[in-house]
A and B are shown apart, each in its own frame.
Chain A
């Protein structure tokens, strides 16, 4: 079960992640996008999935990632990600409830380039009972 103290806590990634042209091209190609000048709208999941999981895997959080199913996903894109961006991830447990024995956790992950907020994402995770 989630530790109640985790609710509202923000976990900051220690290091920034560099975005390369080949990563953007690889992601774009899969969906048939031929414009590689900016990242596709959902590209940031490549960064936030791993980063948020790593940030929220601390045993003190109490989130069992082995039983997590992805429920909802939302992206707010303030500007497109481009090659050369150095993005730092911070993740916050914004909401938590228990329904039918399942834990439902909403994790917000923000990607910053320096002081600039580039993308905010919300992932609703269902931890199956």
Chain B
């Protein structure tokens, strides 16, 4: 039974430098702040950071799986509040959870949370999915 307040169990995705390279190739976003530590530090970042859109893509996967497939996802949004920092050789977590905020006749609205190392990296993240 899906109702307002239904919790979608938390799930952890792991992010490392190799995944950033793969996402860069898959998305076409080759900005060096996501791959080159020297460059990232030269522009004032603590280290290489993940593409914000990679974190949203993983949240999209979280939503797709709950909704019964990518075809069910009608809206997804969020704000890139803090970067996901990816040190050399590290596997860093992206911890995603969700809660049902609205139930309509044919759709369900979700509020989503994504953190990394305990820091919220995606703010005001929401999705609208078709009811299966």
Q: Which residues of A contact B (CB under 8 A)?
A: 23, 26-27, 29-33, 35, 38-42, 45-46, 49-50, 70-78, 80, 122, 124
Complex: A63 Cα to B37 Cα, angstroms:
27
Among A41, A71, A76, A122, the residue within 8 A (CB) of B60 is: A41
**Residue total for B at the interface (Cβ-Cβ under 8 A):** 30
Q: Is the CB of B56 within 8 A of A73?
A: yes
Contact A40/B70 with A30-B22, A33-B61, A49-B27 known, Cβ cut-off 8 Å: yes
Name which of B2-10, B72-80, B85-93, B101-109 contacts chain A. Answer: B72-80
Complex: A75 Cα to B23 Cα, angstroms:
19
Residues of A within 8 A of B52 (CB): 70, 73
Among A33, A45, A71, A78, the residue within 8 A (CB) of B64 is: A33
Q: Is B28 an interface residue when CB atoms closer than 8 A count as contact?
A: yes
Residues of B within 8 A of A78 (CB): 74
Q: How far is the CB of A28 from chain B (nearest CB, A)?
A: 8
Residues of A within 8 A of B29 (CB): 45, 49
Q: How far is the CB of B91 from chain A (nearest CB, A)?
A: 14
Complex: A50 Cα to B28 Cα, angstroms:
8
Additional A-B contacts beyond A35-B70, A71-B80 (8; CB < 8 A):
A30-B26, A33-B64, A39-B70, A40-B64, A40-B70, A42-B56, A49-B53, A78-B74
Complex: A30 Cα to B56 Cα, angstroms:
12
Q: Using a CB-CB cutoff of 8 Å, which residues 85-124 of chain B contact chain A?
A: none
Contact A75/B22 with A46-B27, A70-B53 known, Cβ cut-off 8 Å: no
List, sorted by A's number, 29 A–B pairs whose CB atoms are closer than 8 Å: A26-B25, A27-B26, A29-B22, A30-B23, A30-B54, A31-B13, A31-B60, A32-B13, A32-B61, A35-B69, A38-B69, A39-B70, A40-B60, A45-B53, A46-B27, A70-B53, A71-B79, A72-B80, A73-B56, A73-B80, A74-B75, A74-B78, A75-B75, A75-B76, A77-B73, A77-B74, A77-B76, A78-B74, A122-B77
